[in-house]
Amino acid sequence: MTATVSGAGNTARRAARSDTITRIGRVGLVAYGVVNLLIAFLAIKVATGESSGEEANKNGALSEVAQTSFGQALLWIITVGLAALTIWQIAEAIWGHASAGKRRTVKRLTSAGEAFLFGFLAFTAGKFAMGTPQKGSKTESVTGKLLEQPFGRALVIVFGLAIIVVAAFVIRHGWAKRFRDDLDLSHADARSRRTAERLGQVGYMAVGAAYAVVGGLVITAAVTFDKEKASGLDGAMKTVAEQPFGSLLLWLVALGFICYGVYCFFDARYRKS
């Protein structure tokens, strides 16, 4: 019985980390890069006052894709690519990072977090592809449900703090260039290595800073008992735009998302398999 379970586990491991899954997963990383570039584009529209109702977040980015000539086909490519990327990262979370030493647990948890992120985005892209896009802010929905529970304010504050902690982890991940552990740059030329490092460093820090604002808005919703203040990335972008020098700050955030989006292309090329 043990041998059967072990054999089934090895079969699942080989399937999840197969060349086919890895190749399609790399397409998913490219798709994720495109999504982040579109978020940057929408952020710029907010900064310039040209936004006409589009959400400056992943939903808004997928909506932009849906409006192109080959939108539905592109959305299905994004969905399949991200689904494969999800399977790839699940395999890394369960069996991967054997050479990471003491940091293996952290690396496996990071892969699990990425699997959740990519899986949720694949699900969302699939809904857009089928013509049933998600409406409203997921953050606001979760916050609203939590506020209705006993000790709701405390739960929302914990939720907001958790977002800030994750955002701080992402910022530190970029600042310390820990993303390099996931890349195999041994065959890249010096210029490609430098470019990947700079883009990843700036990109991760910008994305982390944007989500730190989201966490702050969630905590504000708890303090004021107003779930509408707990908006997601789109609300964070618009909140930044309303601050002194908000347009300049939003341009910087957009530049960071551009860096992260382009970094995803390097990630797709050089991610360790």
Interval 128-148: pLDDT, tens: 888 876 655 565 566 667 667
CA dist., res. 73 & res. 128, Å (int): 11
Percent of the chain scoring above 90 in pLDDT? 23
Residue 41: pLDDT band by 50, 70, 90 thresholds? confident
* 8-state DSSP, 17: T
pLDDT over 50 (residue 258): yes
Of residues 38 and 11, more confidently modeled: 38
CA dist., res. 125 & res. 9, Å (int): 30
Model pTM score: 0.81
Mean pLDDT is highest, among 148-157, 161-170, 219-228, for 161-170
CA dist., res. 61 & res. 41, Å (int): 9
* Mean pLDDT value across residues 188-210: 93
Identify the pLDDT of residue 140.
Answer: 58
Neighbours of 70 (CB within 10 A): 9
Domain that holds residue 233: 2-270
Q: How many domains does the chain have?
A: 1
Pair 184, 232: CB distance under 8 Å: no
Neighbours of 178 (CB within 10 A): 17
Identify the pLDDT of residue 5.
Answer: 47
Q: Concatenated DSSP letters for 171-207? A: HHHHHTTGGGGGB--TTS-HHHHHHHHHHHHHHHHHH
